[in-house]
Chains A and B, each alone.
Chain A
């Protein structure tokens, strides 16, 4: 009989070891799946995990890892604050879209004026404001009418997608684009371009913002009273109330913060890697970031690492598609497996496994 016994404190050793064990387990299980699909399992695993970092074209992929991880980390950091306090913002995707639309609208309003020192910072602010406003809808509905924020934030993703389609076809459409949908290229407009800071490194302002957010979140959680309130509310809402935490203010703070960071991520994406507003601008960063937040155990450093790992499976997975002909579906299933194993082995951090007869209490 196998039983689990709760550890008095989470095991430090296992909290570092479980991700490694999980990745190895995924390689084995995934390798079996790739084998069944008629591919060489070793080659597939090497392409996904090794080549992007150390392979022949790593000089290109390493930068791309940052491009992919940046928005994931930035959004996940914001979400993790709310998740710690039991405030469930599932709609970061919508806030990401609105941040991008607001920022693009501001940038395009100035087109073709050359004043980067003014326009780019204004766009950053607009991106954050767009995200905050969209996140305040569930926030205010929750505090005023007790409406469930999971549902409202999620439904607003679909509304944001409709708005995105609409503005790419009308308001923000490129007037020189022969009637095709999509805005002007914001990366080719000097004042709004969010280019790589060092060419080829993948490091653009959004990635910098993600790193700053990690540090900021770390300090907030460990040093600041707001961080304490967040943790306290998550662990014991009653105790938090006795300690004088205003739950409504906490809801608005957490949703506002996650909205702002998601909006910023959208802003940096639309001015950088994506380069324009288009009907299919959003690619699911807001949803993937939820997974990243949990994989990182809602801890800033954990989120940083989880974001990089998630980015690796995307980049490596694409490489495996192009070079080995693995179907996209196999990569998706593989990512799902990786998450399952990471979550499953996490049990070892908090519990001790006992073999043998059940000890009667």
Chain B
């Protein structure tokens, strides 16, 4: 009995909220953001917050935004979302993979609130998912890296052995190898997304082991600084442009650009056209940005990299186009065949040529 009254209470509040928002047809749309880190991380959460600012910029006083930082995954995330929904949010962006089940749970209690979960795979009538094809950016990086290395040794600072990261390593490797058959990858697993001191040490370790190009899949600029100190080591910005290290060591970057998507989804809520979708956008729609390729890169390499970027953007070329074998030599993609999204989403193997093992 008590169960029913509570659910009724929640539903009533949600309905009342929706009614309230509805009756004030021109009242602001309330948009909530749940962040996994602090805005000051300069990387992942920072870029999502840039997306929030883009929404404010685009809609002015037609939107009201709320956000909560440093929300741990699990029970705390559920509470943060419930709180926003109770307080009348119309649309809530949950910006970490670990928020997947909490998002689905909360969404089932608030059928009138729309949810957008980043990087997950579970959807429902009022839950969309969205993610970016960062591996397209990795392809461009790999191309430049293969051309720029003189020691033929490319260092890769990886976070955790999950499909997202492995996909990035494979994409970068394939395109580096294509332009430089002698290239070798050495991969350090930091087991953290964000620990500046550890990232700095990892970068130094790679440089001392002969790497002269560093790719990173962790969020701080510490590796950039380490490369700068070392002298002639090339780096790429990750998550944000890291332009303060341009033109060298940072020669280009992968930028998470959530703004356009967020603006588009808020607009859909305003127009009443919002529907549950699965978005996986790349360079083309602008979700993955390729930061300015600096003049430290020779003009011909820059032109090739930009051509690669444009062909990825137009969809004319896919970053995983066969022939590609798996690490154990077994065939994966036949000549001309491109990878399907299902395999990419769950990628848990290296491609042929990478010598290390994936930790497990």
Binding site for B on A (CB under 8 A): 57, 59-60, 64, 67-68, 162, 165-166, 169-170, 178-182, 185, 198-201, 269, 272-276, 278-281, 283, 315, 318-319, 321-323, 325, 327-329
A322 touching B87 in the complex, CB below 8 Å, given contacts A178-B121, A315-B79, A328-B38:
yes
CB distance from A274 to the nearest CB of B (A): 4
CB distance from B128 to the nearest CB of A (A): 18
Q: Which residue of B lies closest to A282 (CB)?
A: B72
CB distance from B355 to the nearest CB of A (A): 21
CB distance from B360 to the nearest CB of A (A): 4
Check A328 against B70 for contact (C-beta < 8 Å).
yes
CB distance from A223 to the nearest CB of B (A): 35
Q: Does B101 contact A (CB under 8 A)?
A: yes
Check A170 against B162 for contact (C-beta < 8 Å).
no
A59: chain B residues within 8 A (beta carbon): 6, 9
Q: Which of A165, A198, A328 is in CB contact (< 8 Å) with B69?
A: A328
CB distance from B47 to the nearest CB of A (A): 18
Q: Which of A162, A179, A279 is in CB contact (< 8 Å) with B163?
A: A179
Check B2 against A67 for contact (C-beta < 8 Å).
no
Check B163 against A180 for contact (C-beta < 8 Å).
yes
Check A178 against B74 for contact (C-beta < 8 Å).
no
Chain A facing B: main interface SS: loop
- Interface stretch (choices B266-274, B293-301, B340-348): B340-348
Check B7 against A322 for contact (C-beta < 8 Å).
no
B7: chain A residues within 8 A (beta carbon): 199-200
Complexed CA–CA distance, A321 and B39 (Å): 13
- Identify 7 residue pairs between A and B in the complex whose beta-carbon atoms are under 8 Å apart, listed by A's number: A59-B6, A60-B86, A178-B121, A198-B2, A274-B73, A318-B80, A329-B38
Q: Which residue of A lies closest to B82 (CB)?
A: A60
A198: chain B residues within 8 A (beta carbon): 2-3
B130: chain A residues within 8 A (beta carbon): none
Q: Which residue of B lies closest to A162 (CB)?
A: B191
Check B73 against A280 for contact (C-beta < 8 Å).
yes
- What is the 8 Å Cβ interface bit string for chain B, positions 43-76, against chain A (1 contact, 0 not)? 0000000000000000000000011111111111
B78: chain A residues within 8 A (beta carbon): 273
A328: chain B residues within 8 A (beta carbon): 38, 68-70
CB distance from A323 to the nearest CB of B (A): 6
CB distance from A71 to the nearest CB of B (A): 10
Complexed CA–CA distance, A162 and B360 (Å): 12
Complexed CA–CA distance, A57 and B12 (Å): 12
Q: Which residue of B lies closest to A64 (CB)?
A: B79
Check A201 against B72 for contact (C-beta < 8 Å).
no
Check A181 against B162 for contact (C-beta < 8 Å).
yes
A279: chain B residues within 8 A (beta carbon): 98, 160
A182: chain B residues within 8 A (beta carbon): 98
Check A169 against B162 for contact (C-beta < 8 Å).
yes
CB distance from A57 to the nearest CB of B (A): 5
Binding site for A on B (CB under 8 A): 2-3, 6-7, 9-10, 13, 32, 38, 66-76, 78-80, 82-84, 86-87, 97-98, 101, 121, 160-163, 191, 342, 345-348, 359-360
Check B160 against A323 for contact (C-beta < 8 Å).
no
Complexed CA–CA distance, A273 and B82 (Å): 14
A318 touching B79 in the complex, CB below 8 Å, given contacts A276-B101, A280-B73:
yes
Complexed CA–CA distance, A319 and B82 (Å): 11
A323: chain B residues within 8 A (beta carbon): 66, 87
A280 touching B10 in the complex, CB below 8 Å, given contacts A198-B2, A199-B2:
no
Check A318 against B74 for contact (C-beta < 8 Å).
no
B10: chain A residues within 8 A (beta carbon): 60, 200
A165 touching B160 in the complex, CB below 8 Å, given contacts A274-B74, A278-B73, A323-B66:
yes
A325 touching B66 in the complex, CB below 8 Å, given contacts A165-B160, A199-B7, A200-B3:
yes
Question: Which interface residue of A180, A200, A321 has the most chain B CB atoms within 10 A?
Answer: A180
A281: chain B residues within 8 A (beta carbon): 73-74
Complexed CA–CA distance, A182 and B98 (Å): 8
Check B6 against A199 for contact (C-beta < 8 Å).
yes
A274: chain B residues within 8 A (beta carbon): 73-75
Question: Which interface residue of A57, A179, A318, A319 has the most chain B CB atoms within 10 A?
Answer: A179
B66: chain A residues within 8 A (beta carbon): 322-323, 325
Check A169 against B161 for contact (C-beta < 8 Å).
yes
A318: chain B residues within 8 A (beta carbon): 68, 71, 76, 79-80, 83
Check A169 against B2 for contact (C-beta < 8 Å).
no
The 10 closest A-B pairs by CB, nearest first: A273-B75, A200-B6, A274-B74, A179-B346, A199-B3, A178-B346, A283-B72, A170-B360, A328-B69, A179-B348
Q: Which residue of B lies closest to A280 (CB)?
A: B73
Complexed CA–CA distance, A59 and B13 (Å): 11
B69: chain A residues within 8 A (beta carbon): 321, 327-328
Question: Which interface residue of B32, B78, B84 has the most chain A CB atoms within 10 A?
Answer: B78
Question: Which interface residue of B38, B73, B163 has the most chain A CB atoms within 10 A?
Answer: B73
